[in-house]
Structure 1
């Protein structure tokens, strides 16, 4: 097993607390999603450890272990599918991720995205250390087809979006207590960068003209959520397409344009309500700043979506931060 002094990029897991294979297998299934795991070395010789922290809905885990194979099967997906995406950053050792007929081979410094709603195999080929970020699928600003095209592809972290995402995850893991104070902002930053990694990882020729319009429309909506006049009509006009054409593009992901706008506004409001730095702002001011000018209507939508009123949600977040 690696020792803390062996790797300058250790993220905080206590190697002294390493456990045997059965306990490690149970730990990774509890921390992530239900998984099958088998050791490549003899089970009695296997040692592994896991250390996890949560920043809002974002989870970061430092996982170490010996040679092994981890599998997410269709049976396990049926058993529990929380709708999360994983980003694995290889810190030590080598691994291969197999999903959707593709293989991503990772060495130290590489990362890959994989979807826990689709079966996958992870082959950990030697003693390893991997930083794993778990992100709700709903937080990402990408279409389902973009995600499908980008999973199980090796992403280098020397240049491009990978070079931005890796140090962010590393710094968050090292400074978890500080990150928790601005959890909503941190979650958004990670989700935006993961979305950028996904978009840049997909083959260029996989995006047709319609998908290009869809990506642009989603980005336009994100930038104009504060505008109470934002609507399917205004988005379509900006992109010089008909509302009907725009609706067809969003329908590929099972959404309407109006549903997407409403959900993104609610997500922004929820983020702001959970932000301690914004506790001086009224709920009405927050919802209005995100384009929802009718406070009563906003309150009904929020409760319908998240299961509790905006006031109760905010109070619970402030109490948790005490």
Structure 2
């Protein structure tokens, strides 16, 4: 069910303070300064898709700053992609300054200071996620952060189209929401690889289409402990060698990608309300792990805590990963 924060019913004199709190509560601690003497209505509508928060933001002119002092207050492990719909925005981070026009998108890293200027009424969709969820490396982030991607052609166009449709339907996609969100993050990894000069084995277009089909198949069969490269390749009428070539494009092996998705599924299941009534072994089995000890070792290696510690943690956002 979407979460809506709207200033329409808030007295004009209180709107600036209300909006500042709404933006910081939705995303990360931010300093928000409205540019209107009499602020008009503004709204944020948010949905959750697995580890991805999707928020439609509509408001008037303002300046948003993420300072070192605000970074110290939390949220530094998150990334935000803003897909501009109406109005323009100017984003500055790490010495880069980019202009976002309608249809373009850019990523900001909450772990480093940035500023965003919105000089006219605007609307954009913000995709907000923990940096550990998307598989982006520090090298990937260096080429993606504070870079304006205009959807004129190529991979950026594919990413923009996918995100635009995902944002419009965010509240209506259960139970496939988590899988679709994972695909969005994978597309960003592909975009980063392309920007770093690492083309796919068959060129960007065919490789992306094939990878999307393969990943969707994997995500639909994660609970099957017999999910192997051989079976995946056979299901898509390709050789195992070709399958491995596709995943070299992603920077991970097929089985490593599968393990990451399974661990993410287990982590979400153990964190759900009432999750403490489910045994760790049952969760591991449901997501395709055949060995409880192997699952525990893999979980600790990925997140720095054991599955039981994660399940029992009262405030899980304080736990690594």
TM-score, length of structure 2 as denominator length: 0.65
1:95 deviates by: 0.6
Q: 2:109 aligned with 1:112, yes or no?
A: no
Over aligned residue pairs, what C-alpha RMSD do you find? Answer: 3.9
Alignment of 1:90-101 (within 5 A): 90-101=84-95
Aligned partner (choices 133, 139, 145) of residue 145 of structure 1 = 139
Q: Which residue of 1 aligns with 2:273?
A: none
Aligned partner (choices 10, 19, 23) of residue 24 of structure 1 = 19
The C-alpha deviation readout for 1:32-53, integer Å capped at 9, x for no partner, is 00000112222x3343211111
Aligned partner (choices 65, 74, 79) of residue 85 of structure 1 = 79
The 3 A distance-change label for structure 1 pair 199 and 21 is: farther
The 3 A distance-change label for structure 1 pair 14 and 92 is: farther
Aligned partner (choices 128, 132, 147) of residue 134 of structure 1 = 128
Q: 2:29 aligned with 1:34, yes or no?
A: yes
Q: 2:292 aligned with 1:295, yes or no?
A: yes
Cα contact 1:67–1:127 (8 A) shared by 2: yes
The C-alpha deviation readout for 1:8-46, integer Å capped at 9, x for no partner, is xxx99797847522211111100000000112222x334
Moved more, 58-67 or 77-86: 77-86
1:66 deviates by: 1.1
Unaligned runs of 5+ in 1: 1-10, 208-218, 229-237, 240-249, 251-256, 276-280, 314-322
Flag as ranges the 4+ runs of structure 1 deviating above 4 A. 11-16, 222-228, 261-264, 272-275
- Matched positions, count: 250
Q: Which residue of 1 aligns with 2:50?
A: 56
The C-alpha deviation readout for 1:42-83, integer Å capped at 9, x for no partner, is 2x3343211111112100111111111100111111110351
1:133 deviates by: 0.4
Cα contact 1:35–1:72 (8 A) shared by 2: yes
SS of residue in 1 equivalent to 2:120: coil
Moved more, 165-174 or 106-115: 165-174
1:171 deviates by: 2.4
Task: Quote the Cα distance in structure 2 between the aligned partners of 1:106 and 1:287.
Answer: 42
Q: Which residue of 2 aligns with 1:193?
A: 187
Task: Quote the Cα distance in structure 1 between the aligned partners of 2:3 and 2:102.
Answer: 17
Cα contact 1:93–1:108 (8 A) shared by 2: yes
The 3 A distance-change label for structure 1 pair 282 and 143 is: closer
Unaligned runs of 5+ in 2: 199-210, 230-243, 246-250, 270-281, 313-321
Q: Which residue of 1 aligns with 2:155?
A: 161
